[in-house]
Chain A
Amino acid sequence: MTSFLALFGVFFKIGIFTFGGGQAMIPLLEKDLVVNLAWVPMKEFLDFVAISEITPGPVAINMATFVGYKLRGLTGALVTSLGVILPSFIIILIIATVAHTFRTNRWVSAFLDGLKPVVLALLTYAVYSIARSGIPAWWGYVAAVGILLLILKYGKKLNLFLVLLAAGGLGLLMFR
């Protein structure tokens, strides 16, 4: 039986090395959980990934909960989730205590200005890759453009939840 400490350790390590959001973590998880430790068979791992992507919450936490629950039940799920959250929590807490605002240091400011165009590129690419892998029919793209125009036109008056729910409802009706 896997010890809680080992569970915590693996996810803490993964939490430290996951830069740029949860998707970046999937190859790391696969290497550790499937190949090195052989805790989860590949097929089950891919199921976990697929479910994590369509359930609420950050993918990293979804995955941690799944693996923890599979190996050591409810306590295991809490241990792994805590393990994957703690590194980013600690790091951001340190940053937040040091700088309530980031614009007081010339070099930090220059660094942030320099990476803004990269963030823009990453988000642009995310639009492309999520649309390509997630939208199954041509009219889905039309609907996406329609929703974009709605958001731009009505701005802050539009409730974004309802937009997502309506989009989901549309999917129920239209996708085959």
Chain B
Amino acid sequence: MEPKKVITYTAGHASVRKQLLLFWTFFIIGAFTIGGGYAMILMMKRYLVDQYHWLEDEEFYDMLAISQVTPGPIAVNMATFVGYTQSGVLGSVVATLGVSIPAVAVIIVIAVFFPGFKDNVWVQRFFAGVIVGVVAQIATIVLDLGKRQKWTVVSAVVCAASLGILFFVHQVSPIWLILGGGLVGITVEAVKRPGTAPAAGKSAS
């Protein structure tokens, strides 16, 4: 699928380069997603929004929200979506493969060659250090999202209630919080007077 030869001056020229760029970008994102899906949000934002402008700020956070209500790892969701919007179905395949291959490859290497990997003290120390960096990166995203949030009484209550449930009620699936938040959003929209529908709603019709 990944042509190694350089194709010049054909109709597919730019497109092949774009596919390779998509593959490589998501390969890097996949290779550095350590410690769970939330860890790489900041890095994805740097690449997808700031460097390549494949997504707007707002779209990125929309996609992050959508990843919470659709199944599957966030990085895979992001890869499929960005791949498709940038270069169609082939792009989505290429980007999804890119983000998945490091995960598959590293586990096969460990399973074949390093069965004692997890118990190595240096691996454990390195990982503990990486987690420190990961925590800082997620905190950066939290601050950015908090700044961007249009704070109203309702959204503040929803946020505080979700936090309360997460901290004090254990074993609650995030999907219920997500759906609850979405329902609150729809309810708020429904009780608004019809004349005050947002501009985005009008442009659809």
Contact = CB atoms under 8 A, between A and B. Distances in A.
Contacts of A35: none
Interface string B99-142: 11011101110110000011000111111111111111111111
Contact of B162 (A65, A77, A118, A170): A118
A58 B166 contact: no
Contacts, number: 380
Contact of A171 (B59, B70, B92, B128): B128
Interface in A54-101: 54-62, 65-66, 69-70, 74, 77-78, 81, 84-85, 87-89, 91-93, 95-97, 100-101
A56 B34 contact: yes
Residue among B41, B74, B84, B134 with the most chain A CB within 10 A? B134
B177 A144 contact: no
Interface in A137-176: 140, 143-148, 150-152, 156, 160-161, 163-164, 166-172, 174-175
B76 to A, nearest CB: 5
Contacts of B123: 54
A106 B189 contact: yes
A5 interface: no
Interface in B57-105: 58-59, 61-62, 64-77, 80-81, 84-85, 89, 92, 96, 99-100, 102-104
Interface string B17-61: 000000000000011111111110111001000100000001101
A63 to B, nearest CB: 8
A96 B118 contact: no
A12 to B, nearest CB: 11
A55 B106 contact: yes
A150 B137 CA distance: 10
**For B38, B80, B131, which residue has the most chain A Cβ atoms within 10 angstroms?**
B131
Given A69-B107, A123-B138, A61 B118 contact: no
B7 interface: no
B178 A106 contact: no
Contact of A123 (B104, B111, B141): B141
B80 A119 contact: no
Contact of B70 (A19, A101, A172): A19
Nearest to B163: A121
Contacts of A125: 163, 166-167
Given A87-B71, A164-B34, A171 B126 contact: yes
Given A57-B31, A127-B139, A96 B85 contact: yes
Contacts of A152: 140, 143
A124 B167 CA distance: 10
11 contacts: A51-B110, A53-B36, A56-B102, A69-B111, A88-B76, A95-B81, A112-B62, A117-B156, A122-B177, A124-B163, A151-B137
Interface of B: 30-39, 41-43, 46, 50, 58-59, 61-62, 64-77, 80-81, 84-85, 89, 92, 96, 99-100, 102-104, 106-108, 110-111, 117-118, 122-143, 145-146, 149-150, 155-156, 158-160, 162-163, 166-167, 173-175, 177-189, 197-198, 200-201, 203-204
Given A89-B76, A105-B204, A168-B130, 13 more contacts: A22-B73, A57-B30, A96-B92, A101-B62, A112-B62, A114-B158, A115-B69, A118-B158, A120-B142, A123-B145, A134-B134, A171-B131, A172-B122
